[in-house]
Chain A
Amino acid sequence: MSADTRPFVAPVRTPDLPAVAERKLNTGLGMVAASRPGVPRVEVRLRVPFGSARPTGDGARERLLADTVTAGTAEHSALALAQELQRLGASLRAHATSEELLVSGSCLVETAVPFLELIDEVLRTADYADEEVTVAKGRAAQEATIVRSQPTVMASDALVDRLYGKHPYGRGTPPASSYAGISPLALRKVHAARVVPAGSTIVLVGDMRPHELLEMAAGALGRWKGDGPASGLKAPAPPAPGPTLLVDRPGSVQSNIRLGGMAVGRAHPDHARVQVANIVFGGYFSSRLVANLRENKGFSYSPRSSIGHRRLASELTVAAEVATEVTVPALLEIRYELARMAAGTLSTAELDSAKRYLVGTLALATQTQSGLASYLSAITADGLTIDYLATYPSAVEAVTVDDVMDASLRFLGPRGLQTVIVGDASTVERPLGALDELELTPAPPA
């Protein structure tokens, strides 16, 4: 018994693409601006590639640089800078990933020029004052201790290690002890060598004409110079199959189950079909994984799968937090659903639902200035343009049942995925051992 809801849905209206302008400065900085009315604000995303041909360290230095790059310049102390941002109705923060420094900010339309000038000041003259770095090191060490105590972080750190090993993508959360030895001088050196316009891209989205946005950004950021080496980061080798990793967390009342493997990037011809396969499997609430683990078995609150993109690799992750006593049954159900994707059948209803979800939620995610800025920044880093907002939906719409079956066979087969479980080994090791070859490791120290 079900209501006929078809009359409640009109034909889809394809959203208009925002007006966009692009430009590249002589310094090598790529600039993209898009107009999005709504509120009188401007969103800014700057991506600076951090990758090195000979990466060293565990990423702590890059994280500390991100924490302190906005902590004072030649002209402004950290406090004066923060107060000036408030006065402008602006925000500015930096975040280091395994390969990039991502600087995000926003301001009001009428404060865009002084805000961009502040960004320029930070990029050119961040001073990493001794006192600021000392405070930041103490904070970073404490944050590392707290973050690394979270079981979900233990699980994702263990999984990226399994997938990428010694490649920078395999770095998890650095331990507290990594911060003690970092000097302000080291941060200044990294800044001078790597925080440079060559290879960087800035995206601006706001309630302004795109050419005006570009004009303002070019005027403010033209003095930011520096050649630094182009990112020499090499693509990671595909992971070697290994035993299931059990990270022992004594007393855990849940097990954090993670399965992971390689996927493909946004520019890859198989991208749309892999995306559809992921959605059908576990990428939304209406997926097979949620129907089974949550709505049928009650094993998990939020079982899910997702595809994450890095510049040189993409990964598929399956995640479920389950009660300790159902660890093995839950893992079996996850693998059953993966196998059913890879070697079972797919209905056109499941296919169409996943396709409409991907197309519709892309439009929803890019409706706000903030959402559009983040999305444009991500695709620009992949070498794609605004046209992708139109070509990607077309590519999704063209995906067939056979395409999804093929993608599932290649990317969702359980034998091709690494398994990591964080949980209480005294309870789960024996039953898991009956299922998988196991490698047991203690929870990492803080």
Chain B
Amino acid sequence: MTGCGASADNLRPMFSLERMRLENGLRVVLAPDRHATAVAVAVYYDVGFRSEPEGRSGFAHLFEHLMFEGSATLEKMEHARLVQGNGGTFNGSTNSDYTRYFETLPSNALELGLFLESDRMRSVRLSEETLENQIAVVKEEIRVNVLNRPYGGFPWIPLPQVMFRTFNNAHNGYGSFEDLEAATVDAAADFFQQYYAPGNAVLAVVGDFDVDPTAALVEKHFASIPAGVVPRLPDLSEPRPSSERRVEMVDALAPRPALAIGYRVPDPIQDLDEYLAVVVLASLLAGGGEASRLYQRLVKVDRTVSHMSGYVGTFGNPFEVRDPTMLQIVAYLQTDDVDEVLRAVDAEVEALVDDLLPDEVERVTQAMRSSYLADVDEFTERAMFLAVLEQQRSSPELLNTLPDKAAAVSPSAVRRAAERWLLPDKRAVLELQPGGTP
């Protein structure tokens, strides 16, 4: 049987988009889609854990928790009750370069979603009691996700500490217990003033609505929020390593060794074309399971690795981070010889430079296109993606063109990306040694 590769013509996402900007600086993307009776509302603030200064590790995430604890008009837990009591879901999360809040609601509750996000942007209710309560909750979050489990936070917490030298890029975004306990109500109030101005935010709305009345609702709820001052973005720049940076850590709870490798990559915003070549490269090497080159070599032939993955960006989405970021390869080892694994990785990168053919790039980008379409089928995913594309790139229309741009990456561009960026003497290597019962 031969494959009949799908032509790109029918497979281009064609979502209609409208952009607007309110006088207070809030940027808005509206993307109507009437095929389901649902709406998604997402607000991105341009502050992430890489914005935190020394001594304030974990503050952006702690503050995200506080933004659910009430406002001048809403009581503690009322936000959740209003969303869920009208049949919706909500959440928030803090990433390296943004903090986001989002709701998915039946479309009859669209205005409720807009009201809730405008209410949160307008004011936050802070007290010693809620601060103390949420510090305790965040500590339990860190215990469950990091401290009490094997491989907790691996590699997103320790690998940046190997790769990067500046506090902004290297520190643990969950924060130390010491810094969390030192948080004050005044500091939280300052943080809101500093980072939560409308001009530092993007609102994206996707789903079952018409543009004009929804634009009017956005004006109604958001236009009266005072403009405030938009902060400057932190300077995150730092040079590529001049030699391999290698660290061994012991995970007392882990039963087996693991390995994380990080390579610096082109600027995701300024050098999009070259960055896309690296994203395709990551997928080709390690993103496609059985079909990827490193899987074949390490898991099937050498059998030094049992499970592995590879991706670009802090948490796996390459289009939600600013420079500097990494291509990461994570592997769970069936050998104690880390150097053998590293040599095999280098050999596979060299082989790819020598023998990469167009067919391989075509099938990998076809797989990427299909999973991309599945991701943006979901309104909340689409809203979040639009918001971050507007926030970091001022180009929400990339939603419709990214799959074609990835498909346009040539084999020679992938080869060049491998030669330029996957250099052994410029990478970070983190070896996780088990301290647990084997």
Contacts and interface: CB of A to CB of B under 8 A. Distances in A.
B290 A146 contact: no
Interface residues of A, number: 90
B190 interface: no
A284 interface: yes
B3 A87 contact: yes
A254 B140 contact: yes
B399 interface: no
A138 B108 contact: no
A322 B332 contact: no
A301 B144 contact: yes
Contacts of B77: 286, 291, 295
A368 interface: yes
A105 B148 CA distance: 34
Given A78-B290, A108-B370, A138-B306, A285 B3 contact: no
A322 B140 contact: yes
Given A322-B140, A360-B106, A83 B363 contact: yes
Contacts of B80: 285-286
Nearest to B88: A360
Contacts of A152: 149
A197 to B, nearest CB: 21
B306 A254 contact: no
A9 B37 contact: no
Interface in A348-387: 352-353, 356-357, 359-361, 363-364, 367-371
B10 to A, nearest CB: 6
A286 B371 contact: no
A285 B140 contact: no
Contacts of A87: 3, 5, 362-363, 366
B115 A446 contact: no
Interface stretch (B46-54, B130-138, B192-200): B130-138
Interface stretch (A35-43, A185-193, A401-409): A35-43
Contacts of A3: 73-74, 115, 119
Nearest to A37: B35
Contacts of A369: 374, 377
Given A361-B89, A364-B88, A79 B82 contact: no
Contacts of B78: 2
Given A82-B289, A139-B299, A286-B77, A367 B363 contact: no
Interface residues of B, number: 91
Contact of B254 (A121, A149, A323): A149
A149 B143 contact: no
Contacts of A352: 85
Interface string A338-351: 00000000000000
B150 interface: yes
Contacts of A145: 255-256, 438
Contacts of B107: 13
B165 interface: no
19 contacts: A8-B109, A8-B114, A13-B108, A36-B35, A39-B13, A82-B288, A82-B291, A85-B367, A90-B367, A110-B4, A111-B5, A139-B299, A145-B256, A291-B77, A294-B137, A300-B140, A353-B84, A356-B87, A360-B87
Given A111-B4, A285-B90, 10 more contacts: A8-B111, A39-B373, A78-B290, A84-B3, A87-B363, A145-B438, A254-B144, A302-B144, A364-B104, A446-B255
The 9 A-B residue pairs with the shortest CB-CB distance in the complex, in nearest-first order: A360-B87, A298-B136, A89-B370, A353-B85, A82-B290, A82-B291, A87-B3, A367-B36, A301-B141
